[in-house]
Amino acid sequence: MPDTSLVAIAISLLYLGSVACIYRILLTYRTTQGAIAWIIGLLGLPYLAVPMFLVFGRSRFGGYVKARRMGDQALTALLNRFERQTTSLSMLQQQHLDRPLQVLCKLGRQPFTEGNRCDLLKDGEATFDALIKAMENATSYILLEFYIVRSDKIGQRIKTTLEKKLSEGVQVWFLYDDVGSFGLPRAYLKELAKAGAKVASFGDGNIRRRRFQINFRNHRKLLVCDGKIGFVGGINLGNEYLGTVMDQEPWRDTHCRIEGPAVIGLQLAWLEDWNWASNEFPNLDWSPKEKMPGDEQVLVLPTGPADTWETCTLFFLSCINNAQSRIWIASPYFVPDVQIVNALQLAALRGVDVRIMIPEKSDNLFVGLAAYSYLVQASQAGIGIYRYQPGFMHQKVILVDDHYAAVGTANLDNRSMRLNFEIIAINTSTTFVTEVDAMLTKDLAHCRRMTEEDYQDRSIMFRLTCRAVRLLAPLL
């Protein structure tokens, strides 16, 4: 029989831990609903809620904030130099740099830049071919940052290319997320390091920063070569993006190749992440080419839980609230919070063509079920929710009127809004917007529009399950 005094001590410690968690919540919470849910759980079921809070509960990435402040002087100097060396649209006072776009500049702490060339890359084969070509042509350095890296055919192809460039004297910095790349063999990383690459994990690169947390993932996917050519979008380094994995639906995704001064914005975001993960500040090229490769205007917008504001949420709200004729959003995960839902409803009610494209079959059961629970609200307001049929749609693309388009890594869910580090490239060029329009129009032709009946005609158990799962939205 257990000693009652030991049991009493254990229970007391458990409730002390619960009180400490509540104290933390009251100091740092971002949403009232989330704070109340945690507090109720911590008081009612502390033996379950305390361990869960340790894993899921933090709402701010404090360590990154401190690292940012420590390196902020050097990063700020680089940003100021970037603004001086590049031609921003605001400096030219072009009429289409209206207030919504100026707000996006302030959110990203970066300017729109002129003289860029952007190429849409549809699906894995085109993206990987372009990535490999850019790396093969690099002469000074290669910066990689991916959420998922696999040691499959694609992963080995990337590693072989990097090892070849290292043997030619090109420097390589390789940053990955330790949760997203959980299955990546250590041998893969050791072989890269042995060849001369600098390798770091975003989650546990520094022993002092380790936390028993699965939140705050680095969900960015980017590549920079020589500070001149960069890539950003939804594609990770794995065979699934080729649609060749056995028993798996083909993947539909979009990436973007950028050449020009906007690449420096990608490089700044990478540098901040690398500095956090490794405490290093590599010496890179920060001078854009004098001869610009194109005529497109691009803003790179990094977002994450270390930001002063909820940058990703504010980005989506700005896009939705300022849309005049249409807003089309492609996202594999659709679990928006109430303010995003309200903004979408208001946009539809004022006559904006609101279309949300999601996959027919989700790779996350809970996310797929939660999406059904929004159908009634969406249908009644005139919001179109379209399910992509041919396979799993993983692209993250936004089209606002004929004004601007964005390609990046952010989803319409809580993780992207508040927990993950994301990055988005926004382009105001008419040429680029037209290409995105054509691409999404083609994708929508392979979709079916969902109706209120898709939800209402299902069994009561299905509807209850969808509503119950929606309560988990902050964790999905």
396 is catalytic: yes
Catalytic residue among 165, 255, 394, 403: 394
This prediction's pTM: 0.85
Q: Are residues 329 and 356 in contact, defined by beta-carbon separation less than 8 angstroms?
A: yes
Model confidence at 198: pLDDT above 90? yes
| 122 beta partners | 254
Q: Sorting pLDDT into bands at 50, 70 and 90, what band is 208?
A: very low
Q: Sorting pLDDT into bands at 50, 70 and 90, what band is 288?
A: low
**What is the CA 359 to chain-centroid distance, rounded?**
18
**259-273 average pLDDT score:** 92
The structural domains of the chain, ordered by start, are: 4-56 (no CATH), 62-97+116-297 (3.30.870.10), 311-475 (3.30.870.10)
401 is catalytic: yes
289 is catalytic: no
Catalytic residue among 123, 165, 177, 221: 221
Task: Say how far apart CA 295 and CA 45 lie, in whole Å.
Answer: 59
Task: Say how far apart CA 141 and CA 226 lie, in whole Å.
Answer: 5
Q: Are residues 252 and 437 in contact, defined by beta-carbon separation less than 8 angstroms?
A: no
Catalytic residue among 159, 165, 219, 255: 219
Catalytic residue among 119, 152, 363, 401: 401
Residue 70's pLDDT is 47
106 is catalytic: no
Task: Say how far apart CA 82 and CA 85 lie, in whole Å.
Answer: 5
337 is catalytic: no
Residue 414's pLDDT is 87
Q: For 103-142, how does the pLDDT look when each residue is reduced to its tens digit (9 = 90+)? A: 888 888 788 888 999 999 999 999 999 999 999 999 999 9
Catalytic residue among 159, 165, 255, 396: 396
Task: Say how far apart CA 116 and CA 68 lie, in whole Å.
Answer: 28
Catalytic residue among 177, 178, 226, 307: 226
226 is catalytic: yes
Q: Please provide the average confidence, as pLDDT, over all residues in the chain.
A: 84
Residue 473's pLDDT is 67
**27-52 average pLDDT score:** 71
Q: Which of 55-64, 111-120, 312-321, 418-427 has the lowest mean pLDDT?
A: 55-64
